[in-house]
Amino acid sequence: MATITRINDIREGILQCDSAQFREQFNRSSFEFAHHLSGHRLFEIPRLIELAKQLSSTGSVYYDAGEVRVDQRWDQSPPGTHSVDETIRRIQDAGAWIILRRAEQDPEYCAVLEECMAEVQSLLGKDLKKEMLVQDAIVFITSPHRVTAYHIDRECNFILQVHGNKDISVFDRNDRDVLPEEEIERFWMVDNNAAVYKERYQNRATVYSVGPGMGIHVPVNAPHWVRNKNDISVTLSVNFQFREDYPAHVYRANYLLRKVGIKPKPPGLSKVRDRLKCLAMNATYVPIRGARRFLRG
């Protein structure tokens, strides 16, 4: 396994978390942990500009600039007007949100990802390799006071705050007032923006005020949104997707059943029904370029 070029003499590993809590809450509920990446040269602005230039040629960079509401759809975000490297240089005043996806395409960031995932597996006491479809390292660079809109993800996520401070509101993914079955079904089938923010339930969120050296675990489909504070934020997301199609295929099948007027049972209530739904979706839902598409007719 590759090892990262260590700065600040990081000899204790990267992640710091109670292993019993980690095993108990992993991909069930959000929790806080510590890490040792603050001050690492890979997350300083000059190195991030270099990474952004490198990733731009592979289509792995997204950025926008402007005011964003908590309840705004991602496809309504205001586009950036400068190049990504210029936006990073102006990040203090740009009102921007920059995503450097697939950072592991650079060998140094790949080594960080591999080491983090090795530590996750050690804390869990199990080998996740057979369960993972794909793993990813994403770097977020955010202007002061910028909001990241409410959403849910397919990935099991570890958010490591490296620079700056922000508040992360994370909701219980099993709260059907906050996240109805219909929204989950739409998310897995047709709409990445299907989760709808409901301000009346904001008091049900766990709000983490995170700074450098702090991290948050966000389970698959746990709704969350972020408000950056008064400094530039640099954040590393270490995440992976599970290989198994359950419960995603059940939600997809339920979406189709609901479209024809049937009120479907949620996942977990009937093993037989869930199995049949997964089999049906396996026959009609095929991988295309790392994603999946429903085959109509």
Contact predicate 225/153, CB 8 Å: no
In the predicted structure, residue 251 carries a pLDDT above the cut 80: yes
pLDDT band at residue 87, thresholds of 50, 70 and 90? very high
DSSP per residue, the chain = ------STT--S-SEE--HHHHHHHTTTS-EEEEES-TT-GGGSHHHHHHHHHHHHTTT-EEEEES---TT--GGGPPBPSS-HHHHHHTTTTS-EEEEETTGGGSHHHHHHHHHHHHHHHHHHTS--TTTEEEEEEEEEEE-TTPEEEEE--SSEEEEEEEES-EEEEE--TT-TTTS-HHHHHHHHHT-TT-----GGGGGGSEEEEE-TTEEEEE-TT--EEEEE-SS-EEEEEEEEEES--TTHHHHHHHHHHHHTT--PPPTTS-HHHHHHHHHHHHHHEEEETTEEEE---
How open is the CA angle 90-95-97, to the nearest 5 degrees? 90
Q: Please, what is the average pLDDT of the chain?
A: 91
What whole-number distance in Å separates Cα of residue 34 and Cα of residue 208?
13
Instruction: Work out the pLDDT band at 294, boundaries 50, 70, 90.
Output: very low
The residue among 83 and 207 whose pLDDT is bigger is: 207
User: Residue range 1-16: average pLDDT?
Assistant: 56
Give the confidence band of 10 by pLDDT, cuts at 50, 70, 90.
very low
Which tokens go with 43?
Answer: 């997350």
Residues 95-107 pLDDT 10s:
999 999 999 999 9
pLDDT bin (cut points 50, 70, 90) of residue 295 is very low
Over residues 263-292, the pLDDT tens digits come to 999 999 999 999 999 999 998 876 543 444
Q: Please, is 90 exposed, middle or buried when counting C-beta atoms within 10 Å of its C-beta (0-12, 13-18, 19+)?
A: middle
pLDDT tens for 94-148 read 999 999 999 999 999 999 999 999 999 999 999 998 899 999 999 999 999 999 9
pLDDT of residue 293: 41
- β-pair partners for 166: 210, 228
Q: What are the structural domain ranges in the chain?
A: 15-242, 248-294
CATH of 15-242, one of 2.60.120.650, 2.40.50.140, 3.40.50.720, 3.20.20.70: 2.60.120.650
Mean predicted confidence (pLDDT) in 208-229: 98
pLDDT tens track for 212-222: 999 999 999 99
The pTM of this model reads 0.90
pLDDT higher than threshold 80 for residue 29: yes
**Per-residue pLDDT, 286:** 62
How far is the CA of 245 from the CAs of 66, 165, 252, in angstroms? 37, 36, 10
